[in-house]
């Protein structure tokens, strides 16, 4: 597993780069030294500096509250129809997120800090005298990270401030909002550059090896697939009258144009060197093991670590507290709701049946899954008495029995994996041809590897196919951070959430397709109304 250094938090608009310096880039260990303060003008001198700054940009994927450590994950989950989070996330579940919500600003702030770090790499590495191909690779990886961060911002918030160069002290009084078309253009340009200059999985050039965990050319193509599919489906649904996606009408081309580009990038990603699907049901369950990070199905992941403060929080976020299946700490935030299981996926699908926790126990009770697999029956360990039912289901995708605290999980967070690309290509093929039969091969290659019968979509209308592809995505990718985005781009966010949570809790309005810009930003930035 690749070594990442952690960046200390600093204010967005300072002239200094704070780094935790490491001197080992071994795939096996990560050594942390005390923080030092170095000016950007003096720091970027040699190859070691280049790697340190890039690794710091990677570290932002899991630093503080940000990107995938805690807040963002739970916000995405709570905003979908999959299940339930703690009471702290009720606003996201009900679709009543306001700009004063205390969870918004930490997400916003930390993603922009991550963008700042990527901008520093992109701007400063160019001046270092190192191997030319290595230099382009480093810049490509930084641009991949920047694109990933901006993609999440534009999908969550819509129009956002856009900065693509480092900020110097005193020169940034706040940026106005950029249109989503302008933001997407930066994303696409970054990913096109990354697809041409990032290396393949484990590729070696000029004595340098691309370590596992880094962005690859395949990862860039996979993310471009997701970007173009987002544009295509959002504009399609906007053209059909879905008010929540009206901003996507700003894109000039017909949705078909974007579906075609999405398909072409999916083609590249599926044949990407070093990546492959699991070949059996047994192997499928293993791709989610904490001991099997960066396996060939995982195209890009946020890296876990057993070192305190440098691991991910996913085991705690998605596993029952005090069960021995995750570290100690807050625990047990996100679980599947019975209605989602019964109404949105095939409950008998082996992908679901083999990635849920069937039984577990804490200090006082054991829990066995109900016959219908939508809850647990608790049994008192002392008396043996059973009482009540917990109507919720825990996923087994993020178990780490070796984690000790909430941030010591070795479990990687799966940003994008090969199965997702197959499903995206299936969707694009059906939309391009308006013939669902074109999607059969890509859907069924995923079903056959988990010992599920083929599902023939050729007899479905395109409208029926869209329901079915969402079911396939729901059972294959549940709790992997895609559902909120799938519901919004397909224009069914309000409909699907209301049917799960009820009219009272599901009072989502068209504007709820985007979260509001946090009040902390609008209050400090005179260029945002």
DSSP 199-260: PPTT-EETTEE--TTS--HHHHHHHHHHHHHHHHHHHHHHHTT-GGGGGGGG--S-HHHHHH
**Residue 498: burial class (beta carbons within 10 Å; 0-12, 13-18, 19+):** middle
Task: Classify residue 324: in a domain, yes or no.
Answer: yes
Task: Classify residue 266: in a domain, yes or no.
Answer: no
Res 8: pLDDT: 29
Res 26: pLDDT: 31
Task: Classify residue 376: in a domain, yes or no.
Answer: yes
Biggest CA-to-CA distance, the chain: 71
Half-sphere exposure of 331 (CA within 13 A, CB side): 17
* Domain end call among 401, 428, 447: 401
Give which of 138, 114, 122, 107 is closest to 61, Cα–Cα: 114
Q: Would you state the torsion angle of the CA atoms of residues 281, 287, 288, 290, taken in this order, to the nearest 10 degrees? A: 130
Task: Classify residue 241: in a domain, yes or no.
Answer: no
User: How many domains, in total, are found in the chain?
Assistant: 2
Please check whether residues 194 and 314 belong to one and the same domain. Answer: no
Quick one: which H or E segment has residue 380?
strand 376-380
pLDDT tens string, the chain, 529 residues long: the values are: 223 223 322 333 333 333 332 223 333 222 222 222 334 566 788 899 999 999 999 988 886 544 455 688 888 888 888 877 766 677 887 778 889 999 899 899 989 999 999 999 999 998 899 999 999 999 999 999 999 999 999 999 999 999 999 876 555 568 899 999 999 999 999 999 999 999 999 999 999 999 999 999 999 999 999 999 999 999 999 999 999 999 999 999 999 999 999 999 999 999 999 999 999 999 999 999 999 999 999 999 999 888 877 788 888 889 998 899 998 876 677 899 888 999 999 999 999 999 999 999 999 999 999 999 999 999 999 999 998 999 999 999 999 999 988 788 899 999 999 999 999 999 999 999 999 999 999 999 999 999 999 999 999 999 999 999 999 999 999 999 999 999 999 999 888 887 777 665 546 666 678 999 999 999 999 898 7
Task: Classify residue 261: in a domain, yes or no.
Answer: no
Round to whole Å and give the CA distance between 114 and 120: 10
Res 166: pLDDT: 87
Res 31: pLDDT: 27
Round to whole Å and give the CA distance between 156 and 488: 10
Distances, alpha carbon 346 to alpha carbons 353, 373, 389, 470, 500, in Å = 10, 12, 22, 11, 16
Distances, alpha carbon 423 to alpha carbons 343, 348, 511, in Å = 20, 20, 28
Residue with tokens 């306001």: 98
Task: Classify residue 54: in a domain, yes or no.
Answer: yes
> Going by C-beta distance under 8 Å and a sequence separation of 6 or more, which residues neighbour residue 196?
140, 217
Distances, alpha carbon 332 to alpha carbons 85, 168, 480, in Å = 9, 42, 16
Q: Residue 32's CB: how many other CB atoms inside 10 A?
A: 15
Residue with tokens 């000790």: 404
CATH code of the domain covering residue 102 = 1.25.40.890
Q: How many residues does the chain have?
A: 529
Give which of 149, 128, 150 is closest to 139, Cα–Cα: 128
* Domain end call among 374, 401, 428: 401
Distances, alpha carbon 218 to alpha carbons 188, 300, 307, 422, 429, in Å = 15, 9, 29, 13, 20
Question: 104-124 and 71-78 are packed helices; what angle lies between their axes, rounded to 10 degrees?
Answer: 120
Res 202: pLDDT: 92
Round to whole Å and give the CA distance between 370 and 508: 32
The dihedral through the CA atoms of 240, 244, 247, 253 has a sign that is negative
Task: Classify residue 492: in a domain, yes or no.
Answer: no
Give which of 270, 258, 267, 248 is closest to 227, Cα–Cα: 258
Helix, strand or coil for residue 39?
strand
Please check whether residues 184 and 42 belong to one and the same domain. Answer: yes
pTM for this predicted structure: 0.91
Beta strands in 129-218 (DSSP E): 160-161, 177-178, 204-205, 208-209
Please check whether residues 194 and 322 belong to one and the same domain. Answer: no
User: Residue 379 forms beta bridges with which residues?
Assistant: 366, 386
Q: Would you state the torsion angle of the CA atoms of residues 215, 221, 224, 230, taken in this order, to the nearest 10 degrees? A: -110
Round to whole Å and give the CA distance between 497 and 506: 6
* Domain end call among 382, 401, 420: 401
Q: Residue 389's CB: how many other CB atoms inside 10 A?
A: 14
Contact 95, 512 (CB under 8 A): yes
**Residue 525: burial class (beta carbons within 10 Å; 0-12, 13-18, 19+):** middle
Contact 299, 323 (CB under 8 A): no
Contact 273, 439 (CB under 8 A): no
Please check whether residues 52 and 192 belong to one and the same domain. Answer: yes
Tell how far CA 8 is from the center of its chain. 22
Please check whether residues 64 and 193 belong to one and the same domain. Answer: yes
**What are the phi and psi torsion angles at 347 (to 5°)?**
-60, -25
Q: Print the domain residue range for 150.
A: 16-163+176-198+517-524
Give which of 362, 311, 431 is closest to 62, Cα–Cα: 311
First to last CA, the chain: 44
Task: Classify residue 186: in a domain, yes or no.
Answer: yes
> Going by C-beta distance under 8 Å and a sequence separation of 6 or more, which residues neighbour residue 60?
7, 66, 67, 110, 113, 114, 117, 145
């Amino acid at each position: 597993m690749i070594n990442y250094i952690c960046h200390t938090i600093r204010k967005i608009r300072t002239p200094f780069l704070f780094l935790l310096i490491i001197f080992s880039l071994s795939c096996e260990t990560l050594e942390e030294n005390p923080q030092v303060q170095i000016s950007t003008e003096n720091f970027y001198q040699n190859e070691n500096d280049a790697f340190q700054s890039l690794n710091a940009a990677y570290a932002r994927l899991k630093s503080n509250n940000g990107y995938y450590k805690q807040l963002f994950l739970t916000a995405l989950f709570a905003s979908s129809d999959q299940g339930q989070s703690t009471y702290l996330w009720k606003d996201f579940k009900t679709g009543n997120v306001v700009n004063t919500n205390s969870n918004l600003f930490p997400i916003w702030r930390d993603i922009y800090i991550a963008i700042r770090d990527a901008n520093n790499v992109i701007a400063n590495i160019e001046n270092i005298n190192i191997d030319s191909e290595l230099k382009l690779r480093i810049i490509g990886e930084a641009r991949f990270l920047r694109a990933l961060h901006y993609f999440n911002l534009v999908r969550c918030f819509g129009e956002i401030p856009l900065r693509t160069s480092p900020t110097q002290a005193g020169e940034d009084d706040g940026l106005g909002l950029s249109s989503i078309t302008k933001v997407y253009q930066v994303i696409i340009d970054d990913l096109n550059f990354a697809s041409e200059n990032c290396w393949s999985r484990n590729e070696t050039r000029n004595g340098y090896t691309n370590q596992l965990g880094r962005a690859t050319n395949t990862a860039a193509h996979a993310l471009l697939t997701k970007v173009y599919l987002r544009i295509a489906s959002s504009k399609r649904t906007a053209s059909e009258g879905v008010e929540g996606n009206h901003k996507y009408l700003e894109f000039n081309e017909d949705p078909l144009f974007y579906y075609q580009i999405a398909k072409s990038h999916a083609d590249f990603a599926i044949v990407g060197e070093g990546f492959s699907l699991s070949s059996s049901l047994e192997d499928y369950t293993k791709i989610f093991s904490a001991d099997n990070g960066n396996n060939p199905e995982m195209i890009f992941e946020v890296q876990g670590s057993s070192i305190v403060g440098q691991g991910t929080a996913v085991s705690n976020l998605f596993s029952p507290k005090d069960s021995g299946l995750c570290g100690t700490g807050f625990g047990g935030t996100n679980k599947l709701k019975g209605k989602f299981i019964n109404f949105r996926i095939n409950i008998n699908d082996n992908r679901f049946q083999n990635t849920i926790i069937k039984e577990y126990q804490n200090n006082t009770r054991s829990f066995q899954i109900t016959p219908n697999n939508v809850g647990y029956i608790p049994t008192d360990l002392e008396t043996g008495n059973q009482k009540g039912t917990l109507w919720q289901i825990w996923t087994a995708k993020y178990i780490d029995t070796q984690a000790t605290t909430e941030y010591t999980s070795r479990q990687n967070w799966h940003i994008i994996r090969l199965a997702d690309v197959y499903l995206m290509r299936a969707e694009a093929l059906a939309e391009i041809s308006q013939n669902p039969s074109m999607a059969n091969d890509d859907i069924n290659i995923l079903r056959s590897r988990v010992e599920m019968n083929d599902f023939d979509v050729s007899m479905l209308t395109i409208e029926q196919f869209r329901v079915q592809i969402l079911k396939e995505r729901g059972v294959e990718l549940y709790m992997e951070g895609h559902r909120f985005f799938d519901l919004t781009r397909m224009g069914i966010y309000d409909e699907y959430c209301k049917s799960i949570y009820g009219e009272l809790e599901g009072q989502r309005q068209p504007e709820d397709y985007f979260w509001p810009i946090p009040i902390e930003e609008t209050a400090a930035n005179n260029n945002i109304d």
